[in-house]
């Protein structure tokens, strides 16, 4: 029997305001526990919250960027639940009148297909504190620094049917919010995390199955693995004649499994009601239009421009613009360099390799655009070949800025002298008679071997084009 997977996501994003949503406490990540709280954060009796206007601004910008309709009239509600990370026993959120509804994200999948994922709504809320469980398992510590940090929760419709679509959707949201500069979206720090709501149903059926929710997934890999595991778990239960329980589950990335936490609550279980301490919000048209007029150029538009202006292919342009920092580095370097395509090639090749090899994200890049452009010029002008270029690029990657000096100091200038190359070719042909004979018998792989030997004799500095041409000329002599 075939099964269809149905996925909806709730993406929680911490906004990068300097102070919290309802008080003036700072929001710095990594501060000592319980040093960034006040009576409002921890819900002391009589403490009155006041909305941070910057939170509303950032939230509305996110809604506009995701093609949502901004609700002019909205309000905060109290969502009640009893858990140690929420000392006042309720969370300020928005249920009845959220500020944002009916948006969408258009995804381009690996197949080339375009798919629209609808956004049901976005609401503002406060984050909860953090529980730190003792390794010994005998106690739990409470850190309320994160309590009252501003969040937006982006709730999709159940329009996704694969892990690829879910990851692409979260990646699009992450990129969009980074371009807006409303969140740092550091998933490893919890600034962006996703709850996955998943169900399965018989192939082609219109009736949705029972869903489960996996909480607080904070990496693309975790989202992908959790969806694969949970879908298989649902299918196994149903094919065995059982029934899936509606519940909230915890994903353990180390074990690659999900575990039941509690039965899944519905809205009525939280006993929502309008918060009496926070008056209803009226968002004026002028405020919305001012923010709309100042939205940045987003990844898709920037990629299209790079294709039109720089001659990049659409796939390379999409990869470069997916990350705001990398897109800016490309644009700044291409403006100074002789070849934008050459900049793109080194970014997508050696730069991405070094980032992956060192476990770096784009925020740690030290490349200076002027040095990068000078390096590209050295390659395109034939001052260095690509073998030497790899060594020079690593110098640029590490923040080096004197490209010409580095090339001279390390003796990396390309050898283009016909006499020197001819002498090396003659030497290699004389020392490798077997390979010469094999090439003349039609075994073309021998040619690559001979090129490598000439390059080795020239200490990797020979001009590849000249080496190839001269070798062919000599080998074709009778």
DSSP secondary structure string for all residues of 49-86: ----HHHHHHHHHHHHHTTPEEPSEE--EEEE---TT-
At 63 the pLDDT is 98
At 45 the pLDDT is 86
At 291 the pLDDT is 97
At 419 the pLDDT is 65
Residue 216 banded pLDDT, cuts 50, 70, 90: confident
Look up residue 19 and give its DSSP letter.
Answer: B
Two tokens, residue 209: 């199955």
CA distances to 174, 369, 393, 402 from 399, rounded to whole Å, are 27, 10, 10, 10
Length of the chain: 478
Beta carbons within 8 Å of 272's beta carbon, 6+ residues apart: 77, 78, 79, 80, 93, 95, 96
At 264 the pLDDT is 67
Q: What is the mean pLDDT of residues 455-463?
A: 72
N- to C-terminal Cα separation, the chain: 69
- Tell me the pTM: 0.85
Q: Is the pLDDT of residue 128 over 70?
A: yes
At 342 the pLDDT is 96
Q: What is the mean pLDDT of residues 364-376?
A: 96
Residue 59's nearest CA partner among 50, 72, 70, 48 is: 70
Beta carbons within 8 Å of 158's beta carbon, 6+ residues apart: 6, 7, 8, 197, 199, 208
Cα torsion at 35, 36, 40, 45 (round to 10°)? -10
Two tokens, residue 201: 């149903």
At 410 the pLDDT is 87
Q: What is the pLDDT of residues 233-285, one digit of tens each?
A: 999 999 999 999 999 999 998 999 999 987 766 767 889 999 999 999 999 99
The bridge status of strand 212-217 relative to strand 247-252 is parallel
E strand residue ranges, 218-351? 247-252, 257-263, 273-274, 281-282
Q: Is the pLDDT of residue 126 over 90?
A: yes
Helix (H, G, I), strand (E, B) or coil at 191: coil
- 270-309 per-residue burial string, b: 16 or more CB within 10 A, e: under 16: bebeebeebeebebeeebbeebeeeeeebbbebbeebbee
H or E element at residue 155: strand 150-156
The larger pLDDT score, comparing residue 17 to residue 448, is at 17
- The average confidence (pLDDT) of the chain is 91
What residues are paired with 217 via a beta bridge?
194
At 416 the pLDDT is 61
At 469 the pLDDT is 73
Q: Is the pLDDT of residue 452 over 80?
A: no
What residues are paired with 200 via a beta bridge?
5
Look up residue 128 and give its DSSP letter.
Answer: P
Radius of gyration for the alpha carbons in the chain, expressed in angstroms and rounded:
29
Q: What is the pLDDT of residues 169-183, one digit of tens each?
A: 999 999 999 999 999
Q: What is the pLDDT of residues 34-52, one digit of tens each?
A: 999 999 988 888 889 999 9
At 426 the pLDDT is 72
CB 208 within 8 Å of CB 6: yes
Beta carbons within 8 Å of 459's beta carbon, 6+ residues apart: none
Helix (H, G, I), strand (E, B) or coil at 385: coil
Looking up tokens 């990594």, which residue turns up?
30
Q: Is the pLDDT of residue 478 over 60?
A: no
At 309 the pLDDT is 95
Residue 474 banded pLDDT, cuts 50, 70, 90: confident
Taking the C-alpha atoms of residue 354 and residue 395, their distance in angstroms, rounded to an integer, is 11
Q: What is the mean pLDDT of residues 329-353?
A: 96
Q: What is the pLDDT of residues 299-321, one digit of tens each?
A: 999 999 999 999 999 999 999 99
At 420 the pLDDT is 64
CA distances to 9, 171, 174, 311, 434 from 225, rounded to whole Å, are 15, 16, 19, 36, 52
Residue 417 banded pLDDT, cuts 50, 70, 90: low
């Amino acid at each position: 029997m075939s099964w269809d997977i149905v996925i909806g996501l709730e993406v929680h994003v911490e906004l990068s305001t300097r102070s919290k949503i309802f008080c003036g406490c700072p929001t710095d990540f990594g501060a000592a526990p319980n040093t960034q709280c006040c009576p409002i954060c921890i819900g002391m009796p009589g403490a009155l919250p006041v909305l941070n206007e910057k939170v509303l601004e950032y939230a509305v910008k996110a809604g506009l960027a995701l093609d949502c309709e901004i609700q002019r009239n909205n309000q905060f509600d109290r969502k009640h639940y009893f858990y140690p990370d929420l000392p006042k026993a309720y969370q300020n959120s928005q249920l009845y009148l959220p500020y944002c509804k009916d948006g969408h994200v258009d995804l381009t999948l690996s197949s080339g297909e375009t798919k629209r994922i609808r956004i049901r709504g976005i609401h503002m809320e406060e984050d909860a504190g953090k529980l730190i469980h003792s390794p010994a398992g005998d106690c739990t510590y409470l850190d309320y620094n994160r309590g009252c940090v501003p969040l937006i929760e982006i709730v999709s419709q159940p329009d996704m049917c694969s892990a690829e679509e879910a990851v692409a959707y979260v990646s699009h949201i992450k990129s969009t919010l980074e371009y807006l500069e409303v969140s740092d979206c550091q998933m490893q720090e919890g600034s962006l995390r996703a709850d996955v709501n998943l169900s399965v149903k018989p192939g082609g059926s219109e009736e949705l199955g029972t869903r489960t929710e996996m909480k607080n997934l904070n990496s693309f890999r975790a989202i992908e693995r959790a969806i694969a595991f949970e879908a298989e778990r649902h299918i196994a239960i149903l094919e065995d004649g059982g029934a899936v329980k509606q519940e909230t589950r915890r994903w353990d990335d180390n074990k690659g499994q999900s575990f039941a936490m509690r039965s899944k609550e519905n809205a009525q279980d939280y006993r929502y009601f309008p918060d009496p301490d926070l008056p209803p919000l009226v968002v004026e048209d002028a405020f919305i239009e001012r923010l709309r007029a100042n939205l940045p150029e987003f990844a898709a538009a920037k990629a299209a421009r790079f294709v039109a202006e720089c001659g990049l292919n659409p796939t390379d342009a999409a990869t470069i613009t997916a990350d705001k920092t990398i897109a800016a580095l490309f644009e700044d370097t291409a403006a100074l360099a002789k070849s934008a395509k050459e900049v793109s090639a080194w970014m997508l090749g050696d730069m991405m390799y070094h980032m992956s090899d060192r476990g770096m994200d784009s925020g740690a890049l030290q490349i200076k655009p002027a040095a990068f452009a000078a390096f590209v010029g050295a390659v395109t002008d034939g001052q260095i070949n690509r073998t030497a270029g790899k060594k020079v690029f690593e110098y640029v990657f590490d923040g080096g800025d004197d490209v010409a000096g580095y090339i001279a100091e390390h003796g990396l200038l390309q050898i283009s002298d016909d006499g020197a190359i001819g002498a090396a070719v003659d030497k290699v042909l004389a020392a490798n008679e077997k390979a010469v004979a094999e090439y003349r018998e039609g075994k073309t792989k021998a040619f690559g071997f001979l090129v490598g030997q000439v390059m080795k004799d020239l200490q990797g500095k020979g001009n590849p084009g000249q080496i190839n041409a001269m070798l062919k000329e000599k080998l074709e002599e009778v």
